């Protein structure tokens, strides 16, 4: 889709200030997203995971996914170390898992059923779908790092997705026909 500029519109001057963080967060919150969790396991066996909604498929050939992680994320640190991660799409009844992995708790995997996958990353049981990925590229942008991962395997359980919109969890009203 090409952007069109109406008559009289002008591009912002380089010296104009960007919008503030709260205004940007409010705008971004109006885009409904699925809820995902990225997990990784360090060489010493330590586990980490984080809830995200900045995720998108990038390429079919090769199969690539793009996720964005905060530069201070423990999960990003392990992912840099091992060059592998698992991407999970949460089901409609997994808001508690989303909140857990969004927290700063050090023991996020306590009480979570998971298995270690082929890439060494923890795969959470019962999610809508999960993919194991190998990192192909890391690019720092602002306060986040763009991580591109080549999908090596997937598990699809099916069901209804957990959604996030305007600061709250949401679910679909009904399944499509």
In the chain, the N- to C-terminal Cα span, in Å, equals 29
pLDDT of residue 40: 98
pLDDT of residue 1: 47
The answer to whether position 175 is within a domain reads no
The answer to whether position 88 is within a domain reads yes
Reported as a single tens digit per residue, the pLDDT across 42-52 is: 999 999 999 99
Instruction: Look up the CATH number of the domain holding residue 92.
Output: 2.30.110.10
pLDDT of residue 165: 84
The answer to whether position 177 is within a domain reads no
The answer to whether position 6 is within a domain reads no
Distance CA 79, CA 134 (A): 9
Phi-psi region of 105 (alpha: psi -120 to 50; beta: other; left: phi over 0): beta
Structural domains in the chain (count): 1
The answer to whether position 144 is within a domain reads yes
Rounded mean pLDDT for each run of 10 residues along the chain, 177 residues in total: 48 66 80 91 96 94 97 95 97 96 94 96 98 98 97 95 89 71
Tokens representing residue 38 in the block = 């990225």
The answer to whether position 1 is within a domain reads no
Domain that holds residue 48: 33-156
The answer to whether position 40 is within a domain reads yes
pLDDT of residue 2: 45
Q: Name residues whose C-beta falls within 8 Å of residue 41's C-beta, 6 or more positions apart in sequence.
A: 47, 48, 78, 82, 116, 120, 121, 122
pLDDT of residue 17: 65
| DSSP classification of residue 16 | S
The answer to whether position 97 is within a domain reads yes
């Amino acid at each position: 889709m090409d952007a069109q500029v109406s008559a009289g519109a002008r591009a912002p001057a380089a010296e104009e200030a960007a919008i503030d963080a709260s205004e940007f967060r409010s705008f971004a919150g109006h885009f409904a997203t699925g809820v995902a969790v990225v997990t990784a396991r360090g060489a010493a066996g330590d586990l980490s995971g984080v809830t995200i909604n900045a995720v998108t498929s990038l390429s079919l050939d090769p199969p690539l996914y793009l996720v964005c992680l905060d530069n201070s994320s423990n999960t990003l640190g392990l992912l840099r170390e091992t060059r592998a991660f698992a991407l999970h799409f949460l089901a409609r009844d997994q808001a508690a898992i989303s909140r857990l992995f969004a927290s700063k708790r050090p023991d996020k995997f306590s009480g979570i059923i998971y298995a270690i996958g082929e890439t060494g990353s923890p795969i959470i049981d019962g999610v809508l779908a999960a993919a194991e990925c190998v990192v192909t590229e890391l690019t720092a942008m602002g306060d986040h790092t763009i991580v591109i991962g080549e999908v090596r395997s997937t598990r699809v359980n099916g069901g209804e997705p957990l959604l996030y919109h305007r600061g709250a969890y949401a679910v679909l009203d009904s399944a499509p026909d």
